[in-house]
A and B are shown apart, each in its own frame.
Chain A
Amino acid sequence: MRLLTWISLILIVIVILSPIAWLFVLSIKPEAAIMSSPFGPFEPTFENYVAIFERFRLDVATQTSLLIVFIVLAITVPISTLAAYSLSRFPFRGAQWILIFLVFCRMMVPSILILPLFQVISILGLRDTIWGVVLGHLSWTLPFAILILHGFCEEMPRDVEEAAQLDGLGVWGIFWKIVFPLMAPGVGVASLFTFGTSWGEFLFAVAFSTVDVRTGPVQISLMTTQYKVWWGALAASGIYWSIPMMVMAILFNRYMTRGLRLGF
């Protein structure tokens, strides 16, 4: 019985990891070898990795993506931390409805937000800037981060805060000295999810993309056109773009798991 469990789990792990391994094998194959026989021998090469930076300018896209991720993090994390703290510790009549509204936001069809946001950034004169993508990404990250952090706050003990309040500490004092240190792991989880969402997001990134504003996923999607597909470059950029996420998923596995459970 134990043996059967192990065999089935090993099979599952192989099925899960083999597409990624296959992508890696292709990424070190010369373009011509990819097109000929799938299992034939070949000389490993890094030419695809050189090409994605020199020819397909994934270095520029990386900078754009990092800038967007940074802005999205800088807006999402403080706002959602304060909001979750407030919702959990200072509830008012109707606070339930705020939570329902958050779930509603999380379940929205994102593609219907494109045109309104497009109009807003046009009016503000921000077309051809990163702000369209940033606003789009906030619509993913904000509800999710607040829900995760609210879940964290609800699991935190309250008696220390009450004692501190009796000792005469104000809202900010309690928040910085007591609540924030306790919330820190939650803030970490919310940041990880925000980072991951913004790093890989495609819908808003492509909707608001211009020649100067192309995130990594958009730049990668341009390597496949109706007329030609650059297979080697696709494979190499697939590996390159996934490395941060895979490292995070393995390093912070426990935190990510907890975040997933709280945020759904």
Chain B
Amino acid sequence: MKKIGRLLLVPAIVLLLFLFVYPLFFNFYLSFFWLNLYAGYEPRFIGFYNYVSVLTDPIFYNAFFNTLVFTVVSVMLEFIVGLAVALQLSKLKASWMGVVSALCMTPMFLSEVIEGIIGRFLFSPRIGLINAITESLFATTLPWLTDKTFAMWAVILVDLWKMFPFLVIIFLAAIISIPKDLMDAMSLDGASQIQQLRYLIIPCMLPVFAISILVRSIDAFTKVFGVVYVMTAGGPGIGTDVIPLRIFNIALRAFQWGIATTWGVFAFLFSVLLMVIYLYVMRWKR
């Protein structure tokens, strides 16, 4: 009985080992080789040379920094907006709450490509909606997508628009699960809404905050690709270049597999660091 039951896990484990563990070994292995697919599949062992060339490459630090900025700023904004909206939503009746949160959730399930297209329709220099609005209201246009800093903000704002509903859902569930009589008791004792927030809601939600911020950060850092690809293609110059996009370009545009796998190793190590923090926080929650 138990044996058969445990065997049911085997197909999943085999597939996951093939999809995740084998690729990791592949990345570590190839990162010690010179391999450019233009010259044919002839890997040449070169020790740590790839690591030296990646670590001395300003493009690496640029991509790393951009990815970090994207992650930190967008998750921070998502957190603030998500919490504010969830707090407002929690005051509604259950039926209205469902309707409004359903409407809020629509962007979250769109494809990254559609997200990028919407970004271009909002921020493009000639046809963008944002510039059209600012021009008719304030007679100014901003260099969205053509200036490095503004381009990064444009990407961040579009991603904020798409992903903050995720935090609304998570926070709303956490707020609802706070016992209602505690809230009522507090307001009977004359506590203001701010005091309720400060002494009841926020303390109850601290673990949820920690975990959701971590999950969103890891997702933002490791998976930002389509929106940048479509909106800016990493530009202007390398102003919005991010690690997943650069790995893609080195691997499939330049065909430098040795360098690409070395970038992969660094990206992997950083995501492991984030994951260790995540597991630590999960334990602390229990």
Q: Which A residues contact B (CB, under 8 angstroms)?
A: 2, 5, 8-9, 12-13, 15-17, 19-20, 22-23, 26, 34-35, 38-39, 75, 79-80, 82-83, 85-87, 89-90, 92, 98, 100-105, 107-117, 119-120, 135, 138-139, 142-143, 146, 165, 170-171, 196, 199-203, 206-207, 216-217, 220-221, 224, 229, 231, 234-235, 238, 241-242, 245-246, 248-250, 253-254, 256-257, 260-261, 264
Report the separation of the CA atoms of residues A220 and B223 in the bound assembly, to the nearest whole angstrom.
Answer: 20
Q: Are A260 and B260 in contact (CB under 8 A)?
A: no
Report the separation of the CA atoms of residues A35 and B88 in the bound assembly, to the nearest whole angstrom.
Answer: 39
Chain B hits for A98, CB < 8 A = 9, 13
Q: Are B114 and A238 in contact (CB under 8 A)?
A: yes
Chain A hits for B111, CB < 8 A = 199-202, 216-217, 241-242, 245
Q: Are B98 and A165 in contact (CB under 8 A)?
A: no
Would you mind naming 7 contact pairs between A and B with Cβ atoms under 8 Å apart? A13-B100, A109-B223, A112-B267, A171-B4, A234-B121, A235-B121, A241-B111
Q: Which B residues contact A (CB, under 8 angstroms)?
A: 1-2, 4-9, 11-13, 15-16, 19-20, 22-24, 26-27, 30, 85, 88-89, 91-92, 98, 100-114, 117-118, 120-122, 126-127, 129, 132, 136, 161, 165-166, 169-170, 173, 211-212, 215, 218-219, 222-223, 225-226, 229-230, 243-245, 247-248, 251-252, 257, 260-261, 264-265, 267-268, 271, 274-275, 278-279
Q: Are A89 and B5 in contact (CB under 8 A)?
A: yes
Q: Are A90 and B2 in contact (CB under 8 A)?
A: yes
Q: Is the interface of A mostly helix, strand, loop or mixed?
A: helix
Kindly provide the distance from the CB of B231 to the nearest chain A CB, expressed in whole angstroms. Answer: 10
Kindly provide the distance from the CB of B95 to the nearest chain A CB, expressed in whole angstroms. Answer: 12
**B173 to chain A: closest residue by CB:** A261
A5-B88, A103-B275 known; 10 other A-B pairs, CB under 8 Å? A17-B106, A92-B6, A104-B275, A107-B218, A109-B268, A112-B23, A112-B27, A202-B111, A207-B248, A231-B121
Q: Are B117 and A234 in contact (CB under 8 A)?
A: yes
Chain A hits for B218, CB < 8 A = 107
**A8 to chain B: closest residue by CB:** B88
Q: Pick the contact of B170: A22, A104, A264 (CB < 8 A).
A: A264
Q: Are B257 and A23 in contact (CB under 8 A)?
A: no
Query: Which 9 A-B pairs have CB atoms at the shortest separation, nearest pair first?
Result: A200-B111, A112-B264, A90-B5, A83-B12, A116-B23, A202-B226, A86-B8, A116-B26, A38-B132
Chain A hits for B24, CB < 8 A = 112
Report the separation of the CA atoms of residues A79 and B15 in the bound assembly, to the nearest whole angstrom.
Answer: 9
